[in-house]
Amino acid sequence: MAAPMAGKFDGNLCDILQHVQQIDTFLDVMFEFLYRRTDFYKLMRHEHDTMGLPPGMAKKLVMKAFTKYEKIGNGPPLEELESSLMAAVPNPSNTVEITELPDVEKPSSREESKSEDVGERKERLTDETNEDRGEVAGETVKQDLSSTTLQQKRTSAMISSADTYNGALRETYAWAQTLHDLDVKVFVPETLKKAKDLKVEIKEDSIKVAVQSHHAGTSEPQVLIEGKLTMKIRCDESIWSLHPGSYVQLSLEKHRDAWWRAVVQGEPEIDNKSISNVQNVSDMDEDAQQDYQRVMFDMEQKRQGKPTIKEMETQEILRKAWNTDGSPFKGTEFDPSALNITT
């Protein structure tokens, strides 16, 4: 099943891409638009701010979108993923098996007439009873429908491989993780549109998400996820947001870098062998990112037959000393090939 927005803006985007020709310029156009025309880069510094995003959220949104389609591109097609999810959930059946009755002796005409009279009285009584019980039956149907809503959400198109990256899909939620943070997508009823109908608690060692009873079709609030976390998180760096009628997104920052095998205690644990230890460059600290960029630059320079960063630094030192007093090369054009340079 394709995403609802897939292909809708291909025409406009293709026009831009054909005009700028380069993918890096195309991306620059996209982010420049977000900078000029939206509050994407504006930081929310107070809880009452209505503009901008919490610190670090813009970067997380970009990386989430990138990772989503990276995994789809490198893994099985999204259609196969959706098919496998749908196949795991049995379709509800509305048919009732009727066992064939054994043959009986046909009644006489008088008995048949009496039987018809009795049948008519029973039918009237049944109709009256059904009318009296209509309201109760309606409530039962509502409860049955509400109990299947979360199951339907679990197999909807909003679930991708990125939502279970290094995590798992559960009855009422899906979770994914990197070495530093945890993303939990908790499914909510389609009728839930406002955050005031939610109860979300994020503590250092526990979480809870519940919906008001009138959305759950029950007499009490329905708990979607609750329990003690398998490890601690940083509450001040963790946030949540509601996607009306779909899910609650919990973005939790781990207290220490470690791979989790479950979100809450008691949940089935994932296999450590299924965890990908590949780390995104954006998740590295600043020093590690600089080292990575330096190595990648040197590799590209060597591929093109050009000097590495260290070699360029050495050449710059030699260039300055080339024409100094006492230099045997003074008065000649700088030529690094005349020297045996080792780095």
Higher pLDDT, 143 or 74: 74
Which tens digits make up the pLDDT trace of 126-142? 555 555 554 444 554 44
Report the amino acid identity of residue 115.
S
Query: pLDDT for 310-330, tens place per residue?
Result: 888 888 888 888 878 878 877
Q: How high is the mean pLDDT of the chain?
A: 75
Structural Rg of the chain based on CA atoms: 32
pLDDT digits (tens, 9 = 90+) for 220-248: 888 999 999 999 999 888 999 988 888 99
pLDDT at 218 over 80: no
Average pLDDT over residues 43-71: 79
Ranges 39-53, 142-156, 189-203, 276-290: which has the least confidence? 142-156
Per-residue confidence band for 100, with pLDDT thresholds at 50, 70 and 90 = very low
pLDDT tens string 142-163 = 444 455 554 554 445 567 778 8
pLDDT band at 15 (very low <50, low <70, confident <90, very high): confident
User: Residue 280: what pLDDT?
Assistant: 64
Among candidates 267, 268, 236, 266, which has minimal Cα distance to 253?
A: 236
Helix (H, G, I), strand (E, B) or coil at 196: helix
Query: What pLDDT shows up at residue 129?
Result: 52
DSSP structure string for 183-226? EEEEE--TT---GGGEEEEE-SSEEEEEE-HHHHTSSSPEEEEE
